[in-house]
């Protein structure tokens, strides 16, 4: 049995989107699970739309996801001599021929076929003319006209296409450049690809490519066509569903391991398990567990999964990951230890790194005002009284020592007859500007003595005003 070899061949005419990232992931996971090889190549023969900066954006997205490659990147634009060699081989062996039918004539024939209710296929005008190369001539594959092309799809099962529905496709343009079908088949042959996992929008391409493999005397690889990704409205995923480029989600504060986990679950399953680490996925991934139904991309579910991964992530790593999100808000934490302590207080309630950065701001920046509803409810004369008593009780107390802070609160509770919650809520609003925050003792420890005292005094003055 051949060693498994998969590939991911994006076209650098756009950024890496969710569907493409899932295709890359499935190929990578299968190669890693089987102890095989993963190849990265770029289908960049569209010279007008292919751009180097888009190549870099795809590479950056794969690096962020943790998808590495064993071979490549290969560029189709650098392999034109290979495609020319294979085109000539097909011509020499009688499996391809030159065609001089002009685009205008071909269009007329297609329109006439449609008018008759026929399939608008090429009618084979030049098939038996034995033409040679000439200006404007293209090269067509001599496809079989009888029988059927059959293959066993690892997801969809057996698929058969009558050859009468497949015309003689163009494999080389008039300028000698290869068309998609020739380039991809030659690449897969010369790179030794054994398994092709791709979106089911390629199902109609597969019979044509199988005919090409056989014309070249090569056994086709194993095909697995994965159902497309839909939005929550069950329509094909597009920009109207929100961010679709992988790098957009990086900017929104999604962890790469959460995105990989979510992409893997878009059409693949392992029992009822939802949370997977990368090692879990490599260990458990199989083609047999790819579903036949389209995956639905639900941003809310991604956020929930991201929150799970944030909670399970080392706090030190989170502190490093959240730094860029803080910096774009004008915060450059100088004390890494304090940042780690601050992250620990918001980690359980953050769904994204962006949300985490917002939740950390009160530690580093003075807020302009208090949350209106919270101020109306808690910043009252009674609140001012209790905060004044607490400020007095905290004199000489180190607020980073929870036992000392607990004793100060207890003193106020004893003096006023109020419960902890009644006293803590005005204090919470005074310290953070909001009614919801990390635990009282944790946030006071991170704020430190000076900020706690200054913010209590500010809130008391605010109530007085």
Task: Write out the DSSP string of 24-91.
Answer: HHHHHHHHHHTT-EEEEEE----TTT--HHHHHHHHHHHHHHT---SEEEEEGGG-HHHHHHHHHHHH
Neighbour count for residue 208 (Cβ, 10 Å): 19
Kind plus residue range of the DSSP H or E element containing 407: helix 402-416
Catalytic residue selected from 2, 239, 328, 365 = 239
What is the DSSP code string of 243-275?
Answer: --BHHHHHHTT--HHHHHHHHHTSSB--TT---
Q: Which residues pair with 98 in a beta bridge?
A: 139
DSSP state of 398: -
Rounded to a whole number of angstroms, the distance between the first and last alpha carbons of the chain is 82
Is residue 296 packed enough to be buried (19+ CB in 10 Å), middle (13-18) or exposed (0-12)? middle
- CA nearest neighbour of 179 among 55, 87, 110, 41: 87
State whether residue 5 is helix, strand or coil: strand
Sorted by sequence, the CB contacts under 8 Å of residue 383 that are 6+ apart come out as 425, 426, 429, 459, 463
Task: State the residue for tokens 């392992």.
Answer: 270
Give φ, ψ of 245 to 5 degrees.
-75, 140
Q: Cβ distance 408 to 394 under 8 Å?
A: yes
β-strands 5-8, 37-42 pairing: parallel
Judge if the upstream peptide bond of residue 73 is cis by omega within 30 degrees of 0.
Answer: yes
Q: Which of 189, 188, 171 is nearest to 180 (CA)?
A: 171
How do beta strands 195-199 and 295-296 pair?
Answer: unpaired
Exposed / middle / buried, residue 140 (Cβ in 10 Å: 0-12, 13-18, 19+):
buried
Q: Go through 418-431 and write b for each residue having 16 or more CB atoms within 10 A of its CB, e for each that does not.
A: beeebbbbbbbbbb
Q: At what angle do helices 180-190 and 206-215 cross, to 10 degrees?
A: 60
Residue 373 designated active-site: no
Closest CA to 168 of 109, 93, 92, 95: 95
Provide the 10 A C-beta neighbour count for residue 319: 23
Give the residue among 222, 247, 211, 241 at the shortest CA–CA distance from 36: 222
Residues with catalytic annotation?
239
């Amino acid at each position: 049995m051949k060693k498994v070899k998969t590939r991911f061949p994006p076209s650098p005419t756009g950024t890496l989107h969710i569907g493409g990232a899932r295709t890359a992931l499935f190929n990578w996971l299968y190669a890693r699970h089987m102890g095989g090889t993963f190849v990265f190549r770029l289908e960049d023969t569209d010279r007008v739309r292919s751009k180097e900066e888009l190549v870099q954006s795809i590479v950056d997205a794969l690096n962020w996801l943790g998808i590495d490659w064993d071979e490549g990147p290969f560029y189709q634009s650098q392999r034109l001599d290979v495609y020319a060699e294979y085109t000539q081989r097909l011509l020499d062996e009688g499996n391809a021929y030159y065609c001089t039918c002009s685009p205008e004539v071909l269009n007329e024939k297609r329109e006439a076929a449609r008018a008759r209710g026929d399939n608008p296929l090429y009618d084979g005008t030049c098939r038996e003319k034995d033409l040679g190369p000439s200006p404007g001539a293209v090269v067509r594959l001599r496809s079989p006209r009888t029988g059927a092309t059959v293959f066993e799809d690892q997801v969809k099962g057996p698929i058969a296409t009558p050859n009468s529905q497949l015309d003689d496709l163009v494999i080389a343009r008039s300028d000698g450049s290869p068309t998609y079908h020739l380039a991809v088949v030659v690449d897969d042959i010369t790179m030794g690809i054994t398994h092709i996992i791709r979106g089911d929008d390629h199902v109609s391409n597969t019979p044509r490519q199988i005919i090409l493999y056989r014309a070249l005397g090569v056994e086709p690889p194993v095909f697995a066509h994965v159902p497309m990704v839909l939005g929550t409205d069950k329509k094909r995923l597009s920009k109207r569903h929100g961010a679709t480029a992988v790098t957009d989600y990086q900017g929104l504060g999604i962890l790469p391991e959460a995105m990989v986990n979510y992409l893997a679950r878009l059409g693949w399953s392992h029992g009822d398990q939802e949370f997977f680490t990368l090692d879990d996925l490599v260990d458990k991934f199989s083609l047999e567990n790819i579903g036949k139904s389209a995956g639905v991309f639900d941003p809310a579910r991604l956020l929930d999964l991201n929150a799970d991964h944030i909670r399970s992530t080392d706090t030190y790593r989170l502190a490093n990951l959240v730094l860029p999100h803080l910096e774009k808000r004008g915060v450059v934490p100088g004390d890494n230890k304090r940042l780690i302590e601050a992250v620990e207080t918001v980690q359980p309630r953050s769904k994204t790194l962006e949300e985490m950065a917002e939740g950390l701001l009160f530690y580093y920046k003075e807020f302009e005002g208090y949350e209106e509803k919270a101020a109306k409810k808690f910043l009252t004369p009674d609140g001012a009284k209790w905060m004044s008593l607490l400020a007095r009780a905290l004199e000489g107390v180190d607020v980073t020592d929870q036992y000392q802070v607990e004793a100060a609160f207890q003193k106020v509770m004893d003096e006023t007859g109020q419960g902890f919650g009644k006293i803590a809520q005005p204090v919470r609003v005074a310290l953070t500007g909001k009614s919801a925050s990390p635990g009282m003792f944790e946030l006071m420890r991170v704020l430190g003595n000076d900020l706690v005292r200054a913010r209590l005094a500010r809130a008391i003055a605010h109530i007085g005003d």
